[in-house]
Structure 1
Amino acid sequence: MTPVSYFPHQNNHMYVEGIAISDIAKQIQTPFYCYSSTAIETNYQDYQRAFSTQDALICYAVKANSNQAVLATLAKLGSGADVVSMGEIRRAITAGIPANKIVYSGVAKTLEEISYALSLDILQFNVESEPELALISKVATSLNKTAAIAFRINPDVCAQTHAKISTGNAENKFGVPISKARLAYKQAAALPGIKVQGVDVHIGSQLTSLAPFAEAYKRIAELVIDLRSDGHDISVVDVGGGLGITYLDEIIPSKQTYADMVTAQLSHLNCKIIIEPGRSLLGNAGILVSSVVFVKTGEERQFLMLDAGMNDLIRPSMYEAYHQIIAVDKSSNVLKTYDVVGPVCETGDTFAKAREVHQSDAGDLIAIMSSGAYGAVMSSSYNTRLLVPEVMVKGNEFAIVRKRPSYEDIIKQDITPSWL
């Protein structure tokens, strides 16, 4: 789906499902995140259909957007969860995702986190290193538990994506090098409290080509055959996530084409397939709605100054990410070129430079598209700015699914020591 597919303009006004964005903004002060429940459901069901002929489990990557309403929406559809912290496990369980559908990834799992996951009997630990394996074995033994594990294998495949979200190259911090995999599995099989059951791979995020996936999965398939010849009962292949979305004009393979490629590379193994989509479920299902505070004319350019900042959506500052920026009301037929910036006291608080937007004035609404993933979940209260609320829409109804805190809520988190 394109960024505007779920947020179309009708009679020059932007809608989400059956509600005009401007009507929501009359009741909720900007900035706020807005999600389409139907978009989330549709994206998930596309994966379900694509993998319907395989023994597959879709485990949503919670880090993309961990709002309870999002997780509950997916839980009702039967989704599992890919988590990277104890907090995300707790969020998934609270939202109704059963522990036997949770896979636990992450490079630095602590003793406390491992203990908690074991107490719930989660589906699988995706193990990132030999020291982590040793700790899981120690904790599992002390609790008289058995941990089902898969090593995350680093296949040394370039994902052809942004360097900061590429995870499958040899120099990345993630996983066990494929050249050392057989030795790692041999060590795992010899440890108490460990059940070797799978192989895991995840090479990066926002991939727009299937070629890196295919190369990685080919190498993983060869590894599974080798591991089975070594005596390991490999019954699960976790293929990770990473399928991209359209932010501007990227052409993304369909979920069905992706599933067909997975089948071609892995079906001969007769393994259960775990898929961990995040961005491709949530990215284009959400937007950040902001208001113009000022239009400022500088020496060389005009600035569209918004009430949303980099603390609300950090992707443009952190990743140089492109997000379409669209006027909620397109009644003006005049396009103007603006630098679109926020109120944070940082030069990096810039959403776009030299971007054409419908002519806007103070008070006009602006939508920053494709913000459903890695938006609210990465936000902060930098500059003591209030975290923005999140809204979910279903048909002709909307609900606040995370409220805006007060300044008192933020300040009272600090504790003044007795000597002051």
Structure 2
Amino acid sequence: MSGAAPTVPEPFDWSSPQAAARRRRRYAADRRLRIYGLVSVLVAVGLLGILIASLVVGGYSAFVQTHIAVEFTADPENVPAGDPTSGNYRAVITNAVQQLFPELESRSELRTAGDILSKGTANMVRNHVVANPELVGRSFTLEVPASDPFDQLNKGVIDRNLPEDRRRVSDFEIGLFESLEARGLVSTLFNWALFVNSDSRFPELAGLAGALVGSFYALLVCFLVSFPVGIAAAIYLEEFAPKNRWTDLVEVNINNLAAVPSIVFGLLGLAVFIQLFGLPRSAPLVGGLVLSLMTLPTMIIVTRAALKSIPPSVREAALGIGASRHEVILHHVLPLALPGILTGTIIGLAQALGETAPLLLIGMNAFLTTPPGGVMDPATALPTQIFIWADSPERGFVSRTSAAILVLLGFLIVMNAIAIHLRQRFERRW
């Protein structure tokens, strides 16, 4: 049966105006895509720059502190030579204020002048005399922090030109402070107290030492729990577990747990570790256990991805020379996957360092004036300390909140930089 011959399409003329128009459209689409990507990157960098700039502008003043050089006299009538800890240091402070302002006579004026010094001056003088008992009966000079209103005044946060009823310090107090400045007794020094002191109700004395120690203990517990458990679980699921519906269910649950809000893990820790097991509230042990529950899914996923990246030829070569299954894993696969595992571990710990909600639920937001001595002592952490300071009404805590955020960001940047360094140094290309 004969039929019509098939029609052969004419070849497309790539030099025609239609082809040129199509090329121009494709090139224009490529340029738009590149522009969209560049604009997105610039917007992200700009927003990050605005965030960092706002934190620096708001928190840089907390890294310096106004100090006043005051001469104290440890009079034996107020400070017994045999027991300097029981001395009347308030009288020592009052006598020092009278020496600073001999023109003041009334008790109310002296009390107002004494408010220029920090409320912790008496403790600082007592600690200095106790550490140096030979000072009893002698005079010595200490640079003590100024109280928060005068620290803000010296830093320019409080405008001296405002009307008196619109600022925290009166004209009389400003006059007293300016007389100290004229005598060269006021200095602005680096605020080491921000790092060596624990929390305080007075902004000029508040520091992050307790929060730093508490975060260290919590991360230590988190690492000791999540690192071995996460690696062991990932090795079993990736290398030994049979592929059936039960392992599929476990994998789905692990992936889902990685997306669960952190506050849910805080509720779990509150119900299990504190109410069921009776562990103490506010302890870094509980905080570390809660953070380990939160980081375990991420660590398992990262470890499995690192194990999958090892070529099958490594396993086959090891099995071919007589290695057993566990020798292949422990001696060949795991060492080659370790850079990726360490990178995921550090990133997981960095995520745990910045978590606030689960730590608030287990009580790691207590007001503590001393660092914890162990994992069972009450403690706070960097994120919860930031939360506490942000909720404080004193104006001095505003800058310290931004400074604490900068410190936290610094730790996160360092941990991520370590993760990048480990990956670049030990990563194998196949």
TM-score (norm 2): 0.21
More strand by share: 1
TM-score (norm 1): 0.21
**Bigger CA radius of gyration:** 2
